[in-house]
Structure 1
Amino acid sequence: MPRRDTAAWSCTNILIGHDCEVTGVAFSPNGRRLATVSADMSVRLWNTYDGTPHGEPMSGHRGPVWGVAFSPTGRTLASASVDTTVRLWAPETATALPVLSLEHDGYVVAVAFTLHGRALVTGGGDTLVRVWDLTNGLSLHSVMTGHTGPINDLAVSPRGWIASSGADGDLRLWHVGDREPADVHLAEHSSSMACVAFSPDGRTLAAGADDGTVHVWSTATRRPVREPWTAHDSPV
């Protein structure tokens, strides 16, 4: 693969504040804020124009925090933790929202909002993909089964599809409201599927595995766009 010339790239800011490794980051929809989560159990917000903190660190989790996501409006931030909870925050004031945390049966590492922000998708160590209805008092809308190992990552497409990657080597497609996988799962890989992302138009899905390979599919045909290739020398 050709390498991009890195001569034009430079560091603009170094954000210092977490006491342990940073495990997740997310930009707000307007790009003005960056949320970071850490093994130090905190959630932090930063102003992207100068790298300064926005508000005080947000605390409440009782274990390392792994997942973080902004809602499409930017008015809500969700964080997922090893403490088995997902918590919701108000980014503007950098405070916790007055709602109950969303409880799981195991650690939670992945969290994503649907396109219109009406639902929140979560996953983690209990092998389940959960969809929470945010318009009806944070009620549990669906629990989708199929993975036989922990969920490593989640992504939501503009077309309403949910992709989940698991330690069982599976990559699955779901639709909001469905309780079963959409047709068949896309991949059954010999290595853990670590991360997953849709293209902006939702027509292509990419996933990275622990064996350093990258896989790309068409969401219309649910077939590979090309053969997997070894893009890295260590887990993606």
Structure 2
Amino acid sequence: MNTNRAEAERLLAIGEKLLESRDLNGSRDFAILAQEAEPLLEGSDQILAIVDVLVAAEKPIHNSQLDWYAILQVDRTCQNLDLIRKQYRRLGLLLHPDKNPFSLADHAFKLVTDAWAVLSDPVQKALYDGEVAGLVETASFWTACPYCYFLFEYPADCEGCCLRCQNCERSFHGLSIPSLPPLVPGQEAYYCNWGCLPMGFVFGTLGSNGPGSVPENDPNAVSNGAASELGSLSARKQGRPQKGV
């Protein structure tokens, strides 16, 4: 037996096992290695098709709406029905359960079929595009200044950026707060605990000394040592919820 083919079959078998355990990234890596070792080996393109569809389905638009365009592997602004149809047919042939013996092929095939049902119908596509546009336009997140404890709401594309507090004017890392702190009964204030807020986070690659370093031109940045000291404190403080502009 050809050495390359034997190695490719071994790699593909590992990719299949990883797919069965839903390790999508690992499965993709081994399927690519198998394809590189033996381009004509049957099965690697089928595993890659499954993984690509499932990964796209795991990344909904702002955690609420499946991205049908990504599932069919076309750009979200695509208005070319022929291109969308071509992608649907290509993926359908690779994923059809009668031809694809690998785990999760039926689930991936259903996602592709559902995507085509929406994007091939002018009325459903127009409604879907409108919903997606609304999600993109209104998406936002809440964050807190770790110095003065004021809350702010910013557009979603600001998440993870270096922001400047509109109250104390100090720089801080815009980390998303999963849920707002409880309000103080009868007051426009909230309870917070220093140990729970994202205090003392530095700004990653903005520093010249590598990841995690403090930016040289930001006197307000808190070092890792200072962050540890602040994080060890426990206190309750009231602050008024504020909405960012």
TM-score where L is the length of structure 2? 0.25
Report 1 or 2 for greater relative contact order, CA contacts < 8 Å, sequence distance ≥ 6. Answer: 2
Structure number having the greater strand percentage? 1
TM-score where L is the length of structure 1? 0.26
Report the structure number with the largest CA radius of gyration: 2
Structure number having the greater helix percentage? 2
